[in-house]
């Protein structure tokens, strides 16, 4: 083959290859592009390979120029193929995305949103407030972080009382205590020279004191809220739970008032034929003290603790126990809520499983 013929063949092949790639690209057809690749760049019988064989027949004097042109042809054709392949891939992606968007049908009805509702414990608290409101009790609030005066001292629980053991309460580490105790990994000490200890309240009875410090008798209040104890969780215990506290102080308040109030509360919250009974018990802040049971199915179940406010407590808030008497009670709200709804494990209230919570 003459050098001129060879160069001419190179020009023709280059033009044909680039045209074939452009046609495949215009059709956005990767199969067509692959066929063109095999036709021109196929390793064995591709047309460029064939032309390479013809290079051997070009006279030696013209060989360097012909070789250079051949290399240039190969480079251009390969670059043309890569460019077309890249553009086809990009257009395919764009077309798929456009197709996906076209597939969205705005007339199809959406997924129905499930409306939220109050937590069963909150619902129970609201109902208890409503019932006690109808019996003439106002609602009082108190802080969850308490000092020892309100959680213990004023409730007739002296410093040496076992209920004050740091292991049975959630004491807070203050800045001063953190600095000295946390590096050693010890529990907070109750050293009186340091900042006064504070703790998460262990009972809503703290609110009794706060209310009586603020107002003179007659007092008729309830308080509902969170309390904290390092109890091991089980079916009926949780380290954070809720109590409802009731307090009535006036002249001539008796155990009879306490019993009739709790009977009405139980009947309004559970069933009209519920009965209650008192069992002797002990709380430092009431005298006498009782455990309150109510009838449930074929037996009795415990509702909580109650009693007549201890004269020492009345004195601690400046009330004269010769003039005034009062009753107080404290009930666990999780257990009330669990019984009303047939829940057998109070831990379920705090798992935040909407399949469970949605039943209420
Ligand atoms: C008291 O907390 C007293 N303050 C009640 C009281 C108030 C007595 C006023 C006299 C006058 P007690 O520790 O028994 O008492 O708790 C009362 C109720 O809280 C229990 O009956 C129970 O229903 C509930 N309770 C106690 N510990 C837990 C716990 N870890 N988890 C869930 N509920 C609990």
Q: Whose Cα sits closest to atom 26 in ligand 1?
A: 332
Q: How far is the CA of 60 from the centre of ligand 1 (A)?
A: 108
Q: How far is the CA of 168 from the centre of ligand 1 (A)?
A: 14
Mean pLDDT of successive 10-residue stretches along the chain, which has 360 residues = 90 96 95 96 93 87 88 96 96 92 86 89 98 98 97 96 95 67 51 78 98 97 98 96 98 97 95 95 98 90 95 97 98 94 95 92
Q: Identify which of 258, 332, 333, 334 to mutate to test ligand 1's pocket (most ligand atoms within 8 A of the CB).
A: 332
Report pLDDT for 114: 81
Parallel/antiparallel/unpaired status of strands 276-283 and 240-250: unpaired
Report pLDDT for 100: 87
CB of 302 within 6 A of ligand 1: the answer is yes
Q: How far is the CA of 355 from the centre of ligand 1 (A)?
A: 29
Which residues, 6 or more positions from 23, have their beta carbon under 8 angstroms from its beta carbon?
Answer: 32, 36
Report pLDDT for 91: 95
Report pLDDT for 177: 55
- The single residue listed with the structure tokens 């460029």 is 48
Q: How far is the CA of 231 from the centre of ligand 1 (A)?
A: 12
Q: Which two tokens stand for residue 129?
A: 């407030």
Rounded to the nearest 5°, which phi and psi values hold at 240? -120, 125
Report pLDDT for 265: 96
Rounded to the nearest 5°, which phi and psi values hold at 236? -120, 5
Report pLDDT for 188: 54
Which residues, 6 or more positions from 12, have their beta carbon under 8 angstroms from its beta carbon?
Answer: none
- Measure the CA–CA gap between 25 and 31, rounded to whole angstroms: 10
pTM exceeds cut of 0.85: no
Report pLDDT for 120: 97
Q: Which atom of ligand 1 is nearest to the CA of 233?
A: 30
């Amino acid at each position: 083959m003459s050098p001129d013929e060879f160069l001419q063949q190179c020009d023709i092949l280059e033009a044909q290859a680039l045209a074939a790639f452009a046609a495949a690209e215009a059709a956005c057809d990767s199969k067509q592009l692959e066929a063109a690749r095999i036709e021109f760049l196929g390793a064995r019988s591709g047309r460029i390979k064939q032309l390479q064989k013809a290079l051997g027949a070009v006279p030696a004097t013209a060989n360097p120029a012909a070789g250079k042109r051949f290399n240039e042809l190969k480079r251009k054709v390969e670059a043309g193929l890569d460019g077309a392949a890249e553009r086809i891939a990009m257009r395919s992606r764009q077309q798929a995305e456009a197709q996906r968007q076209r597939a969205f049908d705005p007339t199809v009805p959406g997924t129905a949103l499930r409306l939220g509702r109050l937590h069963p414990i909150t619902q129970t608290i609201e109902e208890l407030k409503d019932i006690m409101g109808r019996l003439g009790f106002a609602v009082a609030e108190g802080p969850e972080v308490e000092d020892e005066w309100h959680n213990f001292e004023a409730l007739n629980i002296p410093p040496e009382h076992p209920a004050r053991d740091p292991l049975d309460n959630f004491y807070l580490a203050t800045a001063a205590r953190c600095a000295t105790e946390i590096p050693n990994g010890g529990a907070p000490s109750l050293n009186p020279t340091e900042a006064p200890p504070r703790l998460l309240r262990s009972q809503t009875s703290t609110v009794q004191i706060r209310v009586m410090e603020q107002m003179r008798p007659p007092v008729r209040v309830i308080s509902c809220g969170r309390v904290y104890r390092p109890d091991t969780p089980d079916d009926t215990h949780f380290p954070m739970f809720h109590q409802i506290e009731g307090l009535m102080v006036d002249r001539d308040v008796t155990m009879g008032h306490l019993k009739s109030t709790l009977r009405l509360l139980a009947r309004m919250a559970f069933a009209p034929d519920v009965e209650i009974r008192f069992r002797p018990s002990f709380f430092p802040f009431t005298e006498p003290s009782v455990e309150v049971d109510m009838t449930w199915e074929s037996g009795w179940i415990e509702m909580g603790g109650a009693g007549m406010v201890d004269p020492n407590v009345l004195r601690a808030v400046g009330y004269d126990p010769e003039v005034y008497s009062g009753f107080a009670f404290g009930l666990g709200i999780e257990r009330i809520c669990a019984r009303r709804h047939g829940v057998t494990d109070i831990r379920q209230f705090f798992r935040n499983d909407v399949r469970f919570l949605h039943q209420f």
